[in-house]
A and B are shown apart, each in its own frame.
Chain A
């Protein structure tokens, strides 16, 4: 009995056979990555597939019942829902402007740090604060700053500058874009800074001797040198802005509806929740994002 088990193990165990070192390393490589791959697949590949399935069903409230197949009904309802189209429009406006804002501001600030100056280390740390602080803390700080009756910003706008109209300025698209720009410009700053500092100073000196002005230097040296990092930053911010949920939700709730908050509200914050419908929205977001990203990569980044 024991011998037969041993024989069986020897026959099947991959470690007892004669392998070259290279093959052993290969097997070890697969063995080491396998747990991670399985777990990530469980949290990524399976949910993506399951989400597609759920979007064709009506998900029951009682978890013991299984989802009921409804075909394309969710997608039909979705395409006829004006709220959905409003969210699409808001998402595109938000994504574009906060991406441009964060990238441009990040570029500007990175250029300030091109040369060393006294205290640049501390200054860099301070500039990164908006990005590294917990979102919950800064979202509520901004809410408090913008609070209509006691907030500091409305007070300054109204009583000192006399321009405030009396509405809640927090709950506007413009303010959401500003908030997001403020939070994420340090990300662009950090990535661009590394490239900015590696541009050889000789290029600028030579240009200066040739009589090139500030603008010409920026246009003909800085921008071409930073082309790739700018394109990459813009793409990454585009992906994250398009998929944004928490930033907008904690800052304005459902007052500026975007696709991310639309999914959340339909799936968890409506009575009764309609998770099949929300799954359909999420699927369309995935498809839309893939189309945009592939288009962008092909036409702007020459890949």
Chain B
């Protein structure tokens, strides 16, 4: 009985002192205000260009080129004119650019991953002398950005007659995707518990069957995420597309949008609408990718 009272009393004292300490640690009002204010500024700076991109794409020209620019359009100023120009007009083959980008991205990501899956599995799981070279060597890619190799790769493509050719850009992108796939999938396969695969081996599966029947199905979400990063790499790539593709009909979105801006005067509405159309698929992809953000984004992007 006495013991109970003592424990209860000590607990109450502990509680109280804990609460007092909490209060002294909690930030005062002005500090919280400053915190939310800073946060608001950061949010505004990050988002405002996107707001402006959207607004510009949705208004007509007279609003855009007035002598004193406004920040917020009236409802009456909104129009879909710019989007009609992009999708309906004969002069700008924007739909063609979009389809080109979609096709090149889809194919080169798929090709790249079909190689990278096995390569990544190999150095993540199988033991052999020299495998560390492959897992570390992936990082050497960081050093060789596109611009350092654009001359020799262009010359090689010239020799192979792959310039101004869809195949040329697919080959280039698909090879660039491989290191990304090796890096992301290698990290992932290492985190898959060995025991499940070993159980498969015990049941008489060969190693290849284990990969095909156990590892790949189990890793589907990670493979899809890697595929999407690979796709984005191709979707955003500018440098190689700009030197390889010459005919307007072959242009990908980055090249097409750039041409749009240089070809005509004061087409900001159209250019911003094109930018919106290019950005939206990327945002949807990232909604899916939330869980893989740190790994994927830390690989960096190719230019």
Chain A residues within 8 Å of B, Cβ to Cβ: 22, 24-26, 28-30, 32-33, 35-37, 39-40, 42-44, 46-48, 50-51, 54, 59, 63, 109, 112, 123, 125-138, 140-142, 144-145, 147, 150-152, 155, 159, 182, 186-187, 190-191, 194, 205, 208-209, 236, 239-240, 243-247, 249-250, 260, 263-264, 267-268, 275, 278-279, 282, 285-286, 289-290, 293
Contacts and interface: CB of A to CB of B under 8 A. Distances in A.
Question: Nearest 7 CB-CB pairs, A to B?
Answer: A36-B119, A29-B126, A243-B145, A137-B275, A246-B303, A32-B122, A47-B152
A66 to B, nearest CB: 10
Nearest to A144: B268
A51 B297 contact: no
A30 B128 contact: yes
Contacts of A249: 238
B147 A245 contact: yes
A67 to B, nearest CB: 8
A246 B153 CA distance: 17
Contact of B119 (A35, A48, A109, A141): A35
A135 B282 CA distance: 11
Contacts of A25: 126-128, 207
Contacts of A239: 142-143, 145
Centre residue among B39, B121, B152 by max chain A CB count within 10 A? B152
B155 A134 contact: no
A278 B115 contact: no
A285 to B, nearest CB: 6
A63 B158 contact: yes
A150 B69 contact: yes
Nearest to A191: B298
B150 A205 contact: no
Contact of A28 (B24, B126, B172): B126
A186 B47 CA distance: 12
Given A125-B286, A142-B49, A243-B143, 5 more contacts: A28-B207, A36-B182, A47-B156, A135-B254, A240-B142
Interface class of chain A by DSSP: helix
Interface in B129-177: 129, 131, 134, 140-156, 158-159, 172, 175-176
Interface of B: 21, 24-25, 35, 38-39, 42-43, 45-47, 49-50, 52-53, 56, 64-65, 68-69, 71, 115-116, 118-119, 121-123, 126-129, 131, 134, 140-156, 158-159, 172, 175-176, 178-179, 182, 207-208, 235-236, 238-239, 242-243, 253-254, 257-258, 261, 268, 271-272, 275-276, 278-279, 282-283, 286, 290, 293-294, 297-298, 300-301, 303
B152 A152 contact: no
A244 B42 contact: no
Contacts of B69: 150-152, 155
A29 B123 contact: yes
A194 B301 CA distance: 20
Contact of A33 (B118, B140, B254, B297): B118
Contact of B118 (A35, A46, A127, A247): A35
Interface majority SS on B: helix, strand, loop or mixed? helix
A240 B148 CA distance: 12
B111 to A, nearest CB: 10
A300 to B, nearest CB: 17
Given A32-B122, A40-B175, A127-B43, A138 B49 contact: yes
A275 to B, nearest CB: 5
A141 B118 contact: no
B187 to A, nearest CB: 14
B153 A147 contact: no
Contacts of B119: 32-33, 35-37
Given A129-B50, A136-B278, A245-B303, A42 B175 contact: yes
Contacts of A50: 152, 155-156
Contacts of A37: 119, 134
A130 B152 contact: no
A141 B176 contact: no
Contacts of A208: 24-25
B48 to A, nearest CB: 9
